[in-house]
Amino acid sequence: MKFEMIPRFALRRNVTVLMSLIAILVIGFVSLSLIKLEFMPRNLNFPFMMVWVPYPNSTPEETEYIIADKVEAALNTIPFRKRSFANINSNGCFVGIELQPEADMDRAYMDMVDRIERLKPELPYESQRMRIRRARDGGDDDAEIFITTVHDSLRGDEHNFVSDFILKYFERIDGVATVDFDVAGQRSVYIYINNALVNSYNVNMYDVIQNLRQENFSISSGYIYEGDHKLFVRSRAKIYDLDRLRNLVINERGLKLKDIATISFTTSEQRWAWRIDGKPGMDIEIAKEPMANTIEVTDEIKRVVDELNQHPQVKEAGLKLALIFNKGDYIKQSVNNLLESGLWGGFFAFVFIYIFLRRFRMTAIITMAIPVSIFISIMCLYFMGLTLNGMTLMGLLLAVGLVVDNAIVIVENIYHKRREGLGIDDSAIQGTGEVGLAITLSTLTTVAIFTPILFLPDLGMGQYFKAIAIPVIAAMLASLIVAIIYIPYTSTRISSNKQIAEPEWTKRISRNIARVTLFFVKRRVDAFILFTILMAYLMFGPGPQQLGMGGGGNINDFNVMVELPNNYTFDQTFDLLRQIEKTVEQKWDDYQVKS
């Protein structure tokens, strides 16, 4: 038989087989220690892109007319556009597009940048600082930090302290790409123009705006040479106090800004708020670079948070930092869950196999297939440039229960040959050869089921499914190699020369299985009816199943959405939510609330 050649080779070249097994274990262990851990597969590309265009202190209707319509019209010219959408509020708008599956996302991103840059001259000055975002990498932020104050409300100077002092600690962390800071009610300089005075003095408002820009700038002015040194020159004109701003001359007649306007440094109208643990605060969102290791970056962020909480200046400012979201913890939890599930799965597989085989050595041989197959799968992931993430870990977890099937079939048939009186080597060769074709076809059938997933488009859910399919395929093929090469070799090394007798209770199980099989073979119509009933129940009995991205398992977070009338002011909304917050605080211990 052809399949007898493989175990025969393994027994003849036992040193080669042993060294290859050791090499697999060593390389697999090294790959496991070097492979990067991520929250989701790297470089996910979803067919969505968005741009945020700020336009503060406006109305949604005005923002739509002045900003959103123009941006949406510009983005509609991008090739392979499927649809566009916009979310407009009084501070700006999000405008996005969905692309066709065959679109090149990198090219589409460059097209969006081009359209936005060409549109900027047509937009107001307040809308020049736009942000373009792609739906990729399983999310934008890798860590979120909330800053609370010991006071009942923010005093207004915390914003500058966080911007000038705290943010720099996070920006210089190796691997951090962006640090976004968000706070409600920022203090700003407001210039309230009196239209009656403007008309009375016959002032051109365009000239006023130009004078303000000319008095508040920072630009490069070239360079000069001084001996052997090249010195760069930068021209700066900054307004640092309100008196200078009030006395700014706005026309050739010597008219000052304070003559037509009221200037004040005050807090902007508050339309939203951050709160945590019953305290007001500010939010910092941190995103890592695409090639940076998530766990290393988030661990360093956690260290910096602890360091800042002990810093004298932070304590003096009455601030406290809390790391409320950390992707690194989710990744570590996923890895720990995989290891725990794998260990429990291997343990239960060992127990159940031992119950039926009643041979410790046979059970040990079968259980060996699990770590070897998983190591080979991790090697494939590492050398393919993939990472260990939520999806690949799910594939490995799924493979744990599949890789022992081939080993069970091979080991059981080898020991069946031993019970027939064959020697150790002959039983390993013949036992593997007889069922080698069967387990090969079975394995390739399973692989064939997952293979079409590899050809899904590199957009949307296709990338998630690929990350699951690759480790499953690798583990299944690895289990086939283990079954027809390493299992026969191992069985000849740890088996004893004692004659093996089949236990009486396993004989009874075999006879009962044979009776049931014979019963349905003789009554094919009854078997067909029973099969039809079972299939009908599985298809229609349980009822419709909900489809979705998430499961309904135990989660640690929950959100409460409160829908209020449109005429509610911010103060009314804030008072209502404070009542809800106080209700939760009273049940803090009962609900086991962390924060």
CA dist., res. 101 & res. 45, Å (int): 10
Looking at residue 152, what is its pLDDT? Answer: 63
Q: What is the mean pLDDT of residues 542-556?
A: 51
User: Is the C-alpha dihedral spanning 581, 583, 589, 590 positive or negative?
Assistant: negative
For position 562, what pLDDT does the model report? 81
Question: Which residues are CB-contacts of 508 (< 8 A; sequence separation ≥ 6)?
Answer: none
User: How do strand 217-226 and strand 81-89 relate by DSSP bridges?
Assistant: unpaired
Q: 128-132 long-range CB contacts below 8 Å, 24 or more apart? A: 129/54, 130/51, 130/52, 130/53, 130/54, 131/51, 131/52, 132/49, 132/50, 132/51
Q: How confident is the model at residue 157 (pLDDT cuts 50, 70, 90)?
A: low
What pLDDT does residue 138 have? 46
Residue 538 pLDDT > 70: yes
Residue 304 has pLDDT above 50, yes or no: yes
Per-residue pLDDT tens digits for 435-453: 888 888 989 998 999 999 8
The continuous run of DSSP H or E covering 430 comes out as helix 424-450
Per-residue confidence (pLDDT) for residue 497, from 0 to 100: 60
Tell me the pLDDT band of 473, cut-offs 50, 70 and 90.
very high
The answer, yes or no, to whether residue 554 has pLDDT greater than 70, is no
pLDDT of residue 391: 82
CATH code of the region 45-136: 3.30.70.1430
In the chain, the percentage of residues whose pLDDT exceeds 70 is 81
Which pair of tokens denotes residue 233?
A: 């020159």
User: Quick one: pLDDT at residue 225?
Assistant: 62
Q: Determine the pLDDT at residue 177.
A: 78
pLDDT tier, 221 (very low <50, low <70, confident <90, very high otherwise): very low
Query: Phi, psi (5° rounding) for residue 51?
Result: -130, 135
Predicted local confidence at residue 448, as pLDDT = 92
Residue 551 has pLDDT above 80, yes or no: no
Lowest mean pLDDT among 178-182, 300-304, 546-550: 546-550
Q: State what percent of residues in the chain have pLDDT above 90.
A: 4
Scan for tokens 């630009």, then name that residue.
219
Residues 287 and 285: their CA atoms lie apart, in Å, by 7
pLDDT at 500 over 70: no
On the question of pLDDT at 546 being above 60, the answer is: no
Composition of the chain by helix, strand, coil, percent to 5: 55, 15, 25
Give residue 531's pLDDT: 84
Nearest CA to 476 out of 374, 568, 561, 382 is that of: 374
CATH number of the domain located at residue range(s) 2-34+359-502 in this protein: 1.20.1640.10
Q: Where in 127-257 does DSSP place strands (E)?
A: 131-136, 143-149, 176-182, 187-193, 217-226, 229-237
Contact 265, 189 (CB under 8 A): yes
Mapping DSSP to helix (H, G, I), strand (E, B) and coil, where does residue 322 land? strand
Residue 296's pLDDT band (cuts 50, 70, 90): confident
Whole-model pTM above 0.75? no
The pLDDT value given to residue 155: 61
546 vs 278 pLDDT, higher one: 278
Is the pLDDT assigned to residue 563 strictly greater than 60? yes
Rounded mean pLDDT of 206-232? 62
> What are φ and ψ of residue 499, in 5° steps?
-70, 130
Distance CA 333, CA 553 (A): 15
CA 141 to CA 252: how far, in whole Å?
A: 51
Cα–Cα distance between 399 and 444 in angstroms, integer? 14
Joined together, the tokens standing for residue 334 give 């996923």
Is domain 187-267 in CATH 3.30.499.10, yes or no? no
Look up residue 528 and give its two tokens: 């067909």
DSSP state of 523: -
Mean pLDDT score, 510-529? 82
Alpha-helical regions (H) of 317-403: 327-357, 360-383, 390-400
Least confident of 198-202, 229-233, 417-421, 463-467: 229-233
pLDDT over 70 (residue 215): no
- What CA–CA distance (Å, rounded) separates 76 from 84? 7
In the chain, where are the structural domains located? 2-34+359-502, 45-136, 187-267, 561-595
Read off the pLDDT of each residue in 55-82 and give the average, rounded to a whole number.
Answer: 87
Q: Which band of pLDDT confidence, cut at 50, 70 and 90, is reported for residue 477?
A: very high
Q: Are 331 and 294 in contact (CB under 8 A)?
A: yes
> Range with the lowest mean pLDDT among 204-213, 394-403, 414-423, 530-539?
204-213
pLDDT at 553: 43
Looking at residue 220, its pLDDT comes to 47
Averaged pLDDT of the chain: 78
Mean pLDDT of 69-84: 89
**Per-residue model confidence (pLDDT) at position 552:** 45
